[in-house]
């Protein structure tokens, strides 16, 4: 590339990066600069035990975002605390009688963006992590768009639209978005590698592949890799030059990336091998024949809020209509103008720009699989491994493909005939939406009946009427203006289409970006600092009577699993998609069967009666208190207290000879006879190793799902440390990959670059 053109490219990249940073700062201004916290943690005020702090009718900022509250926020705090203490965060003693932490994958211990939290302060760092991810995603998309030949306006549009597309916005506080932001970079690196194989291009694709895996969502990382491999295969098949060399270069880079991420992959694989989650997923998905078309979900690609959402002030019609949550249905949203005008306009140029054919195929195949369109959806569910994946998240590829097609469309001109056809179609659909907006109030009674039926199934009797009436009020306030504005937008798009050659591309791009901004507003709430971790009388009481190493059992709907971890308390339930068979053997009888799904998990319902029946096991596990929103039946427990509208039954945990220290080690300091088994109130895992033993040899064994040690001779002091072999193997592979990468790059370090472009 000519040096002057390279300088222009660098200048444009810097300008774009600054503009995008400014937009991200505006979007997240409250949590970046105004003292608020990027978190949905105010959902806690709707839970028994906290509802007295804000009143029983409190509506959280976003009712759907429970996982960030229950999992990712406390997990990040735990990882940060352990790393700052100089320990790998391998084991979490505060959930499920202890559970692997790094190995669960979604804890994302090695996510590069988590460095912001490790080096900074929580919870403020959460906003800066989100901002960094959005900026990173946009810059990667901009570079990819330029590398694929999009015009100036098109690449600016792509770079600004992708960070705010449906998938990234709805999953911003989740690992799927943390993995998805690497996809443009993977495609960009693959493009450069296929153009010219070198140590630098191989290293780039390997690094971005590893970054996607470290993001914490292995399924999204797999989808990223499938999309990148499909692009590489399309390029190689189309160009038919140096096929063997290019396949070897691409395959080697991907293999090197997987090896770099082995420190995450190997522990995750070992954890899955000891968990029923794989079998449960197979049963849940029911094979290829269990895939059903989801046309109502597909509508959200055009109108993402057509069924409302779980944001404060909006109705939530999705569940009553059998539609998946907004997170699953609206991920492919790239702006209404992008979907129905810019992307088709880009597709019309497929003969002139070959990569457009690939993008069109990517969008159609991904949408078909994500929305259950036969036979593609059934075929995607048939192969091993893919059989247990959630392919609804392929809407991520739909959004990316539509945005790139839209970028190409911004530089093209439609024929007058096509423009006239679209103008008639656009205005007809716009009129239908306006009529629908006017008809919503007339359907109020029918919707009221649907809302009542839905809430009778999911709420206690005292809450049905209030929630159903609030649903109606939200519907009447939200849906008519939303439909009317969507119709107006279609009318404007029809007007733009009718202009043909005179169509102002910047106006179409601006309309799509405005649509994305409107959709994303308020989806990731910024709450008051005091709402991030509020204290209640219930939490204070539990801290006094059941602080670690003692544990707590909460009955639904009190303190959903993992809530207690936010306060440094230990819960015998584990809010994680992966749990070991040993954990469920230890406490399986505690949980009600799940006949609908048949899944074995500690997320199942627990009753006072089951808690009483399993009292001996609970006391053996160190449980000192059981908490419920209703009083237990008379005679089940001797000591019951009413606290903050809840009831706390006190247990008497078995005095444990073995204690789990603050450093994560288990210490036994008592006389132990030959072949005597000493129970440890920790879930069994083969990763526990004997670090110190005063006399004889010691074996770590399982007893009814719990950990136990057996000494071959008299002993007194024993120390166990969690040191799973899979972590050591993963670390060795990662270090070997790093050494290989550095060795490959070393000869080229210091040499002038042949291609100075950015």
Tens of pLDDT, residues 300-334:
999 999 888 889 888 887 877 788 888 899 999 99
Does residue 280 fall inside a structural domain?
Answer: no
CA distance 667 to 7: 63
The position carrying tokens 């996809």 is 183
CA distance 349 to 543: 65
Q: What is the DSSP string of 676-718?
A: -EEEEEEE--TTEEEEEESSS-EEEEEETTEEEEEESS-EEEE
Contact 407, 146 (CB under 8 A): no
**Residue 662, Cα to own-chain centre: how many angstroms?**
29
Cβ neighbour number for residue 562 with a 10 Å cutoff: 24
Q: How confident is the model at residue 454 (pLDDT cuts 50, 70, 90)?
A: low
Does residue 462 fall inside a structural domain?
Answer: no
Which backbone phi and psi does 197 adopt, to 5 degrees?
Answer: -75, 130
CA distance 315 to 305: 9
620 shares a domain with 664: no
The position carrying tokens 């707590």 is 552
Residue 425 in this model has a pLDDT that exceeds 80: no
**Of the candidates 610, 627, 649, which is a domain's last residue?**
649
Q: How confident is the model at residue 380 (pLDDT cuts 50, 70, 90)?
A: confident
702 shares a domain with 639: no
Residue 502 in this model has a pLDDT that exceeds 60: no
pLDDT at 422: 62
Average pLDDT over residues 533-560: 92
Contact 217, 172 (CB under 8 A): no
Contact 643, 650 (CB under 8 A): no
Contact 96, 683 (CB under 8 A): yes
Q: How confident is the model at residue 541 (pLDDT cuts 50, 70, 90)?
A: very high
Does residue 635 fall inside a structural domain?
Answer: yes
Determine the structural domain holding residue 580 and report its residue range: 537-649
Of 556 and 287, the one with more pLDDT: 556
Looking at the whole model, is its pTM more than 0.95?
A: no
CA distance 583 to 580: 5
Share above pLDDT 70 across residues of the chain, in percent, rounded to a whole number:
88
Q: What is the DSSP string of 57-122?
A: T---SBSS-HHIIIIIHHHHHHHHHHHHTT----EETTBTTSEESGGGSTT-TT-GGGHHHHHS-T
CA distance 628 to 558: 6
Residue 417 in this model has a pLDDT that exceeds 80: no
Does residue 153 fall inside a structural domain?
Answer: no
Q: If you average pLDDT over every residue of the chain, what do you get?
A: 87
Q: What's the pLDDT tens digit per position in 510-537?
A: 989 999 999 998 899 999 999 999 999 9
Q: What's the pLDDT tens digit per position in 669-687?
A: 777 777 778 888 899 999 9
694 shares a domain with 601: no
pLDDT at 324: 87
543 shares a domain with 569: yes
pLDDT at 693: 72
Does residue 86 fall inside a structural domain?
Answer: no
Domain count of the fold of the chain: 2
Cβ neighbour number for residue 744 with a 10 Å cutoff: 17
3-state secondary structure string across 120-133:
CCCCCHHHHHHHHH
CA distance 174 to 170: 9
Of 538 and 750, the one with more pLDDT: 538
712 shares a domain with 609: no
CA distance 576 to 29: 32
666 shares a domain with 594: no
- Residue 658, H or E segment: strand 658-660
Q: How confident is the model at residue 414 (pLDDT cuts 50, 70, 90)?
A: very low
**Of the candidates 649, 671, 699, which is a domain's last residue?**
649
Average pLDDT over residues 694-710: 84
**Residue 263, Cα to own-chain centre: how many angstroms?**
20
638 shares a domain with 555: yes
pLDDT at 432: 72
Q: What is the DSSP string of 423-438?
A: HHHHHHHHHHHHHHHH
Does residue 630 fall inside a structural domain?
Answer: yes
pLDDT at 751: 61
The position carrying tokens 């990223």 is 224
Among 425-434, 571-580, 586-595, where is mean pLDDT lowest? 425-434
677 shares a domain with 636: no
Cα atoms in the Cβ-side hemisphere of radius 13 Å centred on 419:
14
Tell me the residue ranges of DSSP E strands in 427-528: 526-527
CA distance 254 to 206: 6
pLDDT at 756: 41
Q: What is the DSSP string of 582-608?
A: HHHHHHGGGSPP-TTT----TTS---H
700 shares a domain with 610: no
pLDDT at 595: 62
559 shares a domain with 635: yes
Which backbone phi and psi does 76 adopt, to 5 degrees?
Answer: -65, -40
Q: Which two tokens stand for residue 541?
A: 């009481």
Does residue 485 fall inside a structural domain?
Answer: no
Contact 656, 680 (CB under 8 A): yes
CA distance 93 to 97: 6
CA distance 92 to 246: 44
Does residue 541 fall inside a structural domain?
Answer: yes
Q: Residue 264, class by beta-carbon neighbours within 10 Å (0-12 exposed, 13-18 middle, 19+ buried)?
A: buried
Q: Which two tokens stand for residue 676?
A: 């005597």
644 shares a domain with 542: yes
Cβ neighbour number for residue 429 with a 10 Å cutoff: 18
**Of the candidates 607, 628, 649, which is a domain's last residue?**
649
Length reported for the chain: 758
Average pLDDT over residues 594-606: 72
Residue 758 in this model has a pLDDT that exceeds 50: no
Of 682 and 280, the one with more pLDDT: 682
* Signed CA dihedral, 161, 166, 167, 168: sign only: positive
585 shares a domain with 603: yes
Among 153-162, 174-183, 595-604, 680-689, where is mean pLDDT lowest? 595-604
pLDDT at 657: 75
Q: Pick from 283, 276, 281: which is nearest to 601 by CA? A: 276
Q: What's the pLDDT tens digit per position in 382-402?
A: 777 777 788 889 999 999 999
Contacts for 373 with CB less than 8 Å, ≥ 6 apart = 293, 367
3-state secondary structure string across 318-332:
HHHHCCCCHHHHCCC
Q: Pick from 689, 678, 683, 626: which is nearest to 656 by CA? A: 678
């Amino acid at each position: 590339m000519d040096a002057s053109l390279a300088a222009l490219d660098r200048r444009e990249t810097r300008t774009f990066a600054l503009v995008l940073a400014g937009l991200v700062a505006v979007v997240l201004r409250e949590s970046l600069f105004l003292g608020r916290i990027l978190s949905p943690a105010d959902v806690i005020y709707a839970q028994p035990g906290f509802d007295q702090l804000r009143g029983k009718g409190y509506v959280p900022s976003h009712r759907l975002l429970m996982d960030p509250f229950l999992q990712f926020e406390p997990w990040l705090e735990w990882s940060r605390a352990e790393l700052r203490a100089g320990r790998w965060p391998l084991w979490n003693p505060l959930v499920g009688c202890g559970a692997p932490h790094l190995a669960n994958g979604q804890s994302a211990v090695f996510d590069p963006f988590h460095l912001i939290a490790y080096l900074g302060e929580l919870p403020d760092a959460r906003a800066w992590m989100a901002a960094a991810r959005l900026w990173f995603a946009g810059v990667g998309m901009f570079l990819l768009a330029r590398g694929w030949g999009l015009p100036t306006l098109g690449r600016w549009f792509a770079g600004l639209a992708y960070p705010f597309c449906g998938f990234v916005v709805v999953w911003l506080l989740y690992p799927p978005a943390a993995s998805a932001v690497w996809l443009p970079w993977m495609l960009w690196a693959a493009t450069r590698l296929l153009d010219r194989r070198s140590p630098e291009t191989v290293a780039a694709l390997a690094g971005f592949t590893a970054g996607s895996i470290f993001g914490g969502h292995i399924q999204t990382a797999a989808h990223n890799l499938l999309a990148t491999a499909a692009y590489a295969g399309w390029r190689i098949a189309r160009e038919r030059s140096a096929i063997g060399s290019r396949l070897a270069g691409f395959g080697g880079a991907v293999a090197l990336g997987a090896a770099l991420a082995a420190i995450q992959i190997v522990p995750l694989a070992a954890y899955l091998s000891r968990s029923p989650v794989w079998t449960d997923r197979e049963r849940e998905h029911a094979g290829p024949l269990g895939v059903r078309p989801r046309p109502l979900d597909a509508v959200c690609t055009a109108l993402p809020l057509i069924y409302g959402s779980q944001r404060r002030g909006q109705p939530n019609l999705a569940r009553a209509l059998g539609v998946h949550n907004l997170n699953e249905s609206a991920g492919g949203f790239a702006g209404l103008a992008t979907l129905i005008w810019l992307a088709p306009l880009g597709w019309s140029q497929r003969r002139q720009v070959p990569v457009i054919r690939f993008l069109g195929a990517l969008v159609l195949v991904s949408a078909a699989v994500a929305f259950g369109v036969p036979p593609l959806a059934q075929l995607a569910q048939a192969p091993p491994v893919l059989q247990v994946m959630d392919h609804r998240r392929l809407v991520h590829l739909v959004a990316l493909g539509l945005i790139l097609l839209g970028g190409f469309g911004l530089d093209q001109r439609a024929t007058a005939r096509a423009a006239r056809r679209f103008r008639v179609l656009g205005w007809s659909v716009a009129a239908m939406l306006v009529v629908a907006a006017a008809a919503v109030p007339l359907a109020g009674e029918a919707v009221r009946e649907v809302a009542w039926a839905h809430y009778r199934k999911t709420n206690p009797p005292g809450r049905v009427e209030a929630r159903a009436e609030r649903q109606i009020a939200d519907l009447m306030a939200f849906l008519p203006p939303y439909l009317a504005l969507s119709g107006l937008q279609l009318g404007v798009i029809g007007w733009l289409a009718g202009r043909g050659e005179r169509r102002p591309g910047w106006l179409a791009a601006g309309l799509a970006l405005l649509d994305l901004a409107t959709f994303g507003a308020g989806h990731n709430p910024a709450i008051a600092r005091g709402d991030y971790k509020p204290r209640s009388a219930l939490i204070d009481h539990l801290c006094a009577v059941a602080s670690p190493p003692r544990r707590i059992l909460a009955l639904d709907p009190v303190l959903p699993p993992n809530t207690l971890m936010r306060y440094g308390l230990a819960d015998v339930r584990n809010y994680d998609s992966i749990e070991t068979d040993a954990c469920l053997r230890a406490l399986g009888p505690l949980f009600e069967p799940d006949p609908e799904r048949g899944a074995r998990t500690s997320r199942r319902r627990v009753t006072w009666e089951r808690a009483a029946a399993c009292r001996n096991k609970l006391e053996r596990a160190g449980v000192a208190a059981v908490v419920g929103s209703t009083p237990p039946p008379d005679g089940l427990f001797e000591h019951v207290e009413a606290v903050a509208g809840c009831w706390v039954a006190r247990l008497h945990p078995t005095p444990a000879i073995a204690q789990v220290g603050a450093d994560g080690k288990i210490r036994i300091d008592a006389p132990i006879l030959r072949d005597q088994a000493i129970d440890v109130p920790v879930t069994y895992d083969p990763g526990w190793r004997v670090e110190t033993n005063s006399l004889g040899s010691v074996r770590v064994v399982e007893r009814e799902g719990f950990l136990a040690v057996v000494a071959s001779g008299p002993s007194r002091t024993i120390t166990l440390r969690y040191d799973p072999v899979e972590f050591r193997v993963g670390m060795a592979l990662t270090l070997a990959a790093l050494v290989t990468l550095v060795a490959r790059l070393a000869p080229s370090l210091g040499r002038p670059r042949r291609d100075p472009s950015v």
